[in-house]
């Protein structure tokens, strides 16, 4: 249908019907089309429309899965696992001077980026919407350091109260030369007012697993954490949470027995998934799913969702070196693992590192696609291979 005919057809519809059509349209398509009629353009810029559009996103509706994998290595790479296509864009200039993007946390289409300057060991914090390409730097109350953990979320009414950022410190690996006793160990940042508040009563009895990045689900943050049980001389593991409405930490639930590698992700929009694999037994992958993460802090527990046993399973985290990337994954319909990770392939005298997109079900590897190839002598790699990301129109504060 010609553009003029399409415009005429839409213009004949009432605005509430246009709004319903736009609600069913992916955010990328809405932004790409940039509706020419002022009332339509005003609609997609309206916060009420934006948050309703977000509410109908994957995990909360039957709309086509819009989850993406986002990876930064010289460029911003966005992989669409369903179509198996990848796009590349330049890294935002605000992030380019920094040597290393340490980690990111996704919440409602916004990426909280922790970028470390390796020479000074100071961390810079940025909030970024990859779809709209808007980015803002977060100013610290004192300074950010490499021993900090971060999370992003919101209270019950994010439309009214906006987004919040949590910072807390883990001094186990801190170099005392870089530690200032005046620094705050727990604080929260309010994006709407650009202000920090110290959490004087906050306390954490667990050590966050730094190899398993945190995940934001339904406005709250969740991490895999451990502590020693002296009487039993073993490690106890749990899901540590932070409630952005009450602004306090919570022990959510105990974890299944821990493997060598454990990866946390969102499942169904209101639960957690835990993917596990051992280094000496790569032929086994276990996937656990939690019960619903209730707003009232009700009981949560993990149940084994499925296992994959196959001699052809890849190592999702290769023991190439200490710099090997940890994978990014999500659990799709019909008990399928969609993972993007590094892999080693024999190429004669050289041993290249391949970035591979895997589709794995209970029977083993169903599909795999090489998306990049590097050689170790010219490849540094990233700590995490990528991040799950859902494009949205949510504006920066």
Residue 4 scores a pLDDT above 50: no
Kindly report the average pLDDT of the chain as a whole number.
83
Residue 168 scores a pLDDT above 80: yes
Domain boundaries, the chain: 46-172+182-389
Mean pLDDT (whole number) for 299-312: 94
Q: Which residue has the higher pLDDT, 276 or 172?
A: 276
pLDDT digits (tens, 9 = 90+) for 238-293: 999 999 999 999 999 999 998 988 999 999 989 999 999 988 777 899 999 999 99
pLDDT score recorded for residue 386: 85
Structural class in CATH, domain 46-172+182-389: mainly beta
Mean pLDDT (whole number) for 14-27: 88
pLDDT digits (tens, 9 = 90+) for 180-207: 444 558 999 999 999 999 999 888 888 8
**HEC string of 26-79?**
CHHHHHHHCCCCHHHHHHHHCHHHHHHHHHCCCCCCCCCCCCEEEEECCCEEEE
* Whole-angstrom distance, CA of residue 138 vs CA of residue 154: 16
Kindly report the pTM of this predicted structure. 0.88
Residue 173 scores a pLDDT above 70: no
pLDDT score recorded for residue 308: 96
pLDDT score recorded for residue 2: 47
By mean pLDDT, which of 94-108, 145-159, 315-329 is the weakest? 315-329
Residue 345 scores a pLDDT above 90: no
């Amino acid at each position: 249908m010609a553009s003029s005919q399409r415009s005429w057809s839409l213009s004949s519809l009432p605005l509430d019907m246009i709004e319903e059509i736009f609600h069913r349209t992916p955010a990328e398509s809405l932004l790409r089309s940039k509706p020419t009629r002022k009332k339509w353009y005003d609609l997609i810029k309206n916060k009420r429309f934006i948050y309703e559009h977000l509410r109908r996103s994957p995990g909360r509706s039957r709309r086509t899965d819009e989850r993406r994998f986002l990876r930064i290595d010289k460029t911003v790479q966005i992989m669409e696992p369903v179509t198996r296509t990848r796009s590349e864009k330049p890294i935002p200039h605000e992030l380019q001077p920094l040597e290393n993007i340490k980690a990111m946390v996704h919440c409602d289409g916004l990426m909280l980026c922790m970028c470390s300057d390796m020479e000074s060991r100071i961390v810079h914090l940025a909030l970024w919407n990859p779809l709209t390409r808007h980015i803002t730097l977060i100013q610290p109350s004192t300074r950010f350091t490499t021993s900090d953990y971060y999370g992003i979320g919101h209270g019950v009414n994010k439309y009214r109260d906006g987004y919040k950022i949590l910072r807390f410190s883990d001094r186990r690996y801190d170099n005392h030369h870089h530690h200032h006793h005046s620094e705050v160990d727990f604080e929260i940042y309010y994006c709407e007012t650009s202000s920090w508040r110290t959490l004087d009563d906050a306390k954490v009895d667990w050590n966050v697993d730094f190899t398993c990045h945190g995940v934001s689900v339904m406005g709250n943050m969740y991490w895999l954490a451990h502590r020693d049980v002296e009487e039993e001389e073993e490690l106890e593991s749990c899901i540590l949470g932070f409630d952005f409405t009450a602004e306090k930490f919570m022990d959510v639930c105990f974890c299944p027995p821990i493997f060598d590698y454990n990866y946390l992700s969102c499942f169904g929009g209101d639960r957690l998934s835990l993917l596990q694999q051992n280094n000496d037994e790569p032929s086994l992958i276990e996937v656990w799913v939690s019960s619903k993460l209730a707003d009232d802090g009700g009981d949560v527990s993990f149940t084994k969702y499925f296992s994959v046993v196959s001699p052809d399973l890849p190592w999702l985290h290769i023991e190439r070196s200490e710099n090997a990337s940890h994978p990014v994954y999500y659990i799709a319909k019909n008990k399928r693992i969609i993972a993007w990770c590094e892999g080693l392939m024999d190429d004669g005298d050289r041993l290249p590192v391949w970035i591979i997109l895997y589709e794995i079900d209970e029977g083993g590897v169903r599909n795999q696609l090489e998306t990049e190839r590097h050689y170790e002598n010219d490849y540094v790699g990233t700590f995490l291979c990528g991040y799950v990301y859902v494009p949205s129109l949510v504006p920066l504060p």
